[in-house]
């Protein structure tokens, strides 16, 4: 204890010095003053990290750490909206209080911090488990909105998703009645999709429609350096929820806490995350669905979540929130233009803008609208014309390009051919899973997907079905070759090739399905991750034969796939045209075109969504995660 006492004295001395500095030294002056327009531009370009608004004065910190100052023009009342929409952290200092009291508080802050830190360290030293005062409570960033004023109409262009969440609204409105009518009370729902697609907005709209409080916290707020804080925050969160039920709890960035436990610890941070995650699981299991609480979690990386989070009774319902297609983009643009009552010039065609912004998220589109309005104001125009929209699109596209997310029209066409290749080869085989839809809307790292739906949950696959799957996997690369030549093939097929090779290997070596090798099973590193590679129990001769057979199967399947594409080339061209136009097409739409070309289709369409989805997800990046929830192996 003697040690701590002297530590305290040192802290006090340090604190005094800081106090003295604050009282007598002058506050640091901003490096530079900027005009308000410049400031807004910087905000839109995401150059601002944090801003403090005090009356008409704004002090901001840029991403590269510079301090800037600007003054808000009188009567301008959207500053707060613009800042928050662009992800700037906003502090507001009320002007009435800018007296000596605030100054004093600011000066005292360091001392309070020091004392807090000291108390905390004492707590850690004396075992850390003493909860005499809830330290976490004072810092918890639980954000409570009594009545969110967002409605489903404010969320544009995701009709299927909105249909899916209607049930949640019904439940929140009248939990008891809902259950009397035979509905199963929903509890945990996972929204997954790229950043900015409107997951938070949708969650708020659900609470808004149901007229219940919206309680939110970000997963990253849970993860602290100190052991125990995160878990305490989880407890606080659920306490708040129970007090406010019926209500909706929203946990953003759930992956920050919910990453799969790796087994490789890296010190305190790891333990802390695990403790927080465990607490979250306990709380999820601990409340009864009848209480009228719904927990929605959001992530853009569902593939890295700990499987424990997705078990029944936890986040057992997963809803994909996709990036908008052309029609969706059109509607999002309209919503934002109407919301801000932006006057449009006669030449503005929102459909043209929607077509020119493939891969844009809702947030990107909201930015386009904001940016165009600002440009028009700067150019002193009465109305926002197409020119402003074009410039705004260019600017935001540049930002996306920097992040490597923009797709050129050229690429888009290649992706379309690739996906139609998968789909066509699939429908030309009786043993393939029925086709559901094709999409070239980028999602995560995936550039396009072809979704097939198997008949029911499958446990056994025949060789015929496996070979059909193999051909289908090659359909993408084969189409590239047919339409772009041997030199035109792309890296987009990496994931397909990986899956095809693995499948062929298992056909030969795991499931003993070839005549040449017969019914053998070879436990190698390829199909058994726990086995060291270079398996000792097969001869070199066998290993060579396996390789030979694998290659033979792969090459033959590829040839077959290419022949199919070659044969129905004309139909492919028409399907690609429609796909480029609509970005997502259903199996029915594809079949209609095949019929026009008299293609003898061997398979049928499948509409109903089932759990076990066979998605061919194409990406160009080497380590790209598969899109969506990983299908059970």
Catalytic positions, written as ranges? 419
272 binds Zn ion (CB under 5 A): no
Which residues between 82 and 121 bind Zn ion (CB under 5 A)?
A: none
Residue closest to 185 by CA, chosen among 244, 235, 246: 246
Q: Among 292, 302, 362, 442, indicate the residue that binds ligand ADP (CB under 6 A).
A: 362
Residue 628: CB minimum distance to ligand ADP, A: 15
Q: Smallest distance, Å, CB 136 to Zn ion?
A: 47
The reply on whether position 335 binds ligand ADP by CB under 6 A is: yes
Residue span binding ligand ADP (CB under 6 A) among the ranges 189-197, 234-242, 349-357, 381-389: 189-197
State in angstroms the smallest separation of the CB of 151 from ligand ADP: 11
Q: Determine the residue with CB nearest ligand ADP.
A: 362
- Strand 57-62 to 214-218 pairing: unpaired
DSSP 343-381: PBPTT--HHHHHHT-TT--HHHHHHHHHHHHHHHHHTT-
Neighbours of 256 (CB within 10 A): 19
Question: CB-side exposure of 404: number of CA atoms within 13 Å?
Answer: 7
Q: How far is the CB of 201 from ligand ADP (least distance, A)?
A: 3
Output the DSSP codes for 81-110: HHHHHTT-EEEEE-STTTTHHHHHHHHHHH
Q: How far apart are CA 113 and CA 414, in angstroms?
A: 57
Q: Greatest CA span in the chain, whole angstroms? A: 91
**Residue from the set 60, 156, 479, 507 that interacts with ligand ADP by CB under 6 A:** 156
195 counts as binding ligand ADP under rule CB under 6 A: yes
Give me the least distance between CB of 203 and ligand ADP, in Å please: 8
| H or E segment and range at residue 435 | strand 435-439
Shortest gap between Cβ of 204 and Zn ion (angstroms)? 36
For position 476 contacting Zn ion by CB under 5 A, the verdict is yes
Coil, helix or strand for 509?
helix
From residue 371, alpha-carbon distances to 155, 184, 358, 364, 367 in Å are 20, 45, 18, 10, 6
- The two structure tokens encoding residue 48: 């601002």
Task: Give dist(CA 160, CA 384) in Å, integer.
Answer: 32
- Residue 496 binding partner per list ligand ADP, Zn ion, none, with a CB distance cut-off of 5 to 8 Å that depends on partner kind: Zn ion
Binding mask 583-622 for Zn ion (x = CB under 5 A): -----------------------------------x----
Q: Which stretch binds Zn ion (CB under 5 A): 160-168, 240-248, 491-499, 581-589?
A: 491-499
Binding partner of residue 201 among Zn ion, ligand ADP, none, CB under 5 to 8 Å per kind?
ligand ADP
Q: Where does this chain touch ligand ADP (CB under 6 A) — which range of 42-50, 154-162, 301-309, 586-594? A: 154-162
User: Residue 430 in 3-state DSSP?
Assistant: coil
293 binds ligand ADP (CB under 6 A): no
Is residue 198 part of the contact set for Zn ion (CB under 5 A)? no
| Residue 157 makes contact with ligand ADP by CB under 6 A | yes
Q: Name the strands in the sheet holding 317-320, side by side, starting at the edge strand that comes first in the sequence.
A: 143-145, 214-218, 247-252, 293-299, 188-192, 317-320
Residues between 23 and 82 with contacts to ligand ADP, criterion CB under 6 A: none
Alpha-carbon span 230 to 268, nearest angstrom? 12
CB 249 within 8 A of CB 296: yes
**Interface with Zn ion includes 496 (CB under 5 A)?**
yes
SS3 state at 185: coil
| Listed residue (240, 281, 224, 287) closest to 258, CA to CA | 281
Select 157 or 626, whichever has its Cβ closest to ligand ADP. 157
Nearest 5°: phi and psi at 611? -65, -45
The window from 3-11, 110-118, 193-201, 562-570 that contacts ligand ADP (CB under 6 A) reads 193-201
Q: Which stretch binds ligand ADP (CB under 6 A): 138-146, 155-163, 268-276, 612-620?
A: 155-163
Closest approach, Cβ 200 to ligand ADP, in A, equals 3
- Residue 618 interacting partner from ligand ADP, Zn ion, none (CB closer than 5 to 8 Å by kind): Zn ion
Q: Which two tokens stand for residue 34?
A: 């900027």
Cβ-based nearer residue to ligand ADP, 200 or 472: 200
Give residues in contact with ligand ADP (CB under 6 A): 85, 155-158, 195-201, 298, 332, 335, 362-363, 366
Give residues in contact with Zn ion (CB under 5 A): 476, 496, 618
């Amino acid at each position: 204890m003697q040690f701590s006492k002297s530590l305290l004295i040192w802290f006090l001395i340090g604190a005094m010095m800081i106090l003295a500095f604050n009282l007598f030294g002058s506050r640091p002056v901003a490096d530079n003053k900027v005009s308000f327009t410049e400031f807004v531009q910087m905000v839109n370009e995401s150059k601002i990290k944090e801003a403090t608004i005090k009356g008409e004065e704004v002090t901001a910190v840029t991403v590269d750490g510079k301090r800037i100052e600007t003054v808000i023009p009188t009567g301008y009342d959207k500053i707060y909206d613009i800042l928050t929409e662009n992800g700037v952290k906003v502090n507001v200092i009320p002007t009435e209080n800018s007296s000596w009291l605030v100054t004093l508080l600011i000066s005292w802050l360091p001392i309070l911090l020091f004392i807090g830190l000291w108390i905390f360290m004492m707590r850690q030293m004396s075992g850390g488990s003493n909860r005499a005062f809830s330290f976490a409570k004072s810092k918890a960033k639980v954000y409570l909105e009594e009545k969110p004023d967002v409605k489903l109409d404010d969320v544009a262009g995701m009709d299927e998703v909105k249909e899916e969440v209607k049930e949640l609204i019904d439940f929140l409105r009248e939990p008891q009645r809902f259950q009397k009518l035979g509905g199963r009370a929903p509890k945990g729902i996972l929204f997954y999709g790229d950043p900015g697609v409107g997951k938070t907005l949708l969650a708020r709209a659900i609470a808004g429609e149901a007229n219940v409080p919206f309680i939110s916290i970000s997963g990253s707020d849970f993860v602290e350096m100190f052991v125990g804080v995160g878990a305490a925050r989880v407890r606080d969160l659920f306490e708040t929820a129970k007090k406010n039920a019926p209500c909706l709890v929203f946990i953003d960035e759930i992956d920050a806490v919910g990453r799969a436990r790796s087994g490789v610890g890296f010190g305190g941070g790891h333990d802390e995350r695990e403790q927080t995650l465990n607490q979250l699981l306990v709380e999820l299991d601990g409340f009864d669905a009848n209480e009228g609480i719904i927990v929605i979690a959001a992530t853009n990386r569902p593939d890295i979540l700990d499987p424990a989070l997705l078990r029944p009774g936890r986040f057992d319902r997963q809803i994909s929130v996709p990036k908008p297609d052309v029609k969706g983009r059109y509607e999002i643009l309209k919503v934002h233009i109407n919301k801000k009552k932006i006057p449009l010039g006669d030449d503005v065609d929102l459909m043209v803008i929607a077509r020119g912004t493939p891969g844009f998220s809702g947030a990107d589109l909201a930015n386009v609208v904001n940016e165009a309005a600002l440009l028009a104001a700067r150019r002193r125009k009465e109305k926002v014309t197409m020119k402003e929209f074009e410039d705004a699109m260019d600017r935001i596209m540049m930002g996306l390009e920097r992040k490597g997310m923009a797709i050129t029209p050229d690429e888009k066409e290649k992706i379309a051919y690739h996906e139609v290749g998968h789909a066509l080869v699939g429908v030309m085989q009786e043993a393939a899973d029925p086709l559901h839809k094709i999409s070239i809307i980028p999602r995560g790292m995936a550039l396009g997907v072809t979704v097939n739906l198997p008949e029911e949950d499958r446990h056994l696959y025949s060789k015929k079905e496996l070979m059909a799957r193999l051909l289908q996997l090659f359909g993408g690369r084969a189409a590239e070759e047919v339409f772009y030549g041997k030199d035109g093939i792309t890296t987009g097929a990496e994931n397909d090739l990986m899956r095809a090779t693995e499948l062929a290997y298992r056909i030969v070596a795991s499931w003993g399905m070839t005549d040449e090798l017969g019914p053998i099973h070879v436990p190698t590193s390829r199909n058994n991750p726990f086995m060291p590679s270079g398996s000792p129990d097969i001869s070199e001769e066998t290993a060579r034969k396996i390789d030979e057979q694998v290659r033979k199967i792969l090459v033959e399947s590829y040839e077959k796939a290419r022949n199919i594409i070659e044969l129905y080339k004309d139909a492919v061209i028409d399907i690609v045209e429609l796909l480029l136009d609509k970005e997502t097409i259903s199996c029915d739409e594809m079949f209609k075109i095949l019929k026009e070309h008299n293609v003898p289709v061997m398979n049928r369409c499948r509409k109903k969504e089932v759990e076990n989805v066979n998605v061919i997800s194409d990406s160009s990046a080497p380590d790209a995660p598969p899109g969506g929830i990983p299908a059970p192996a």
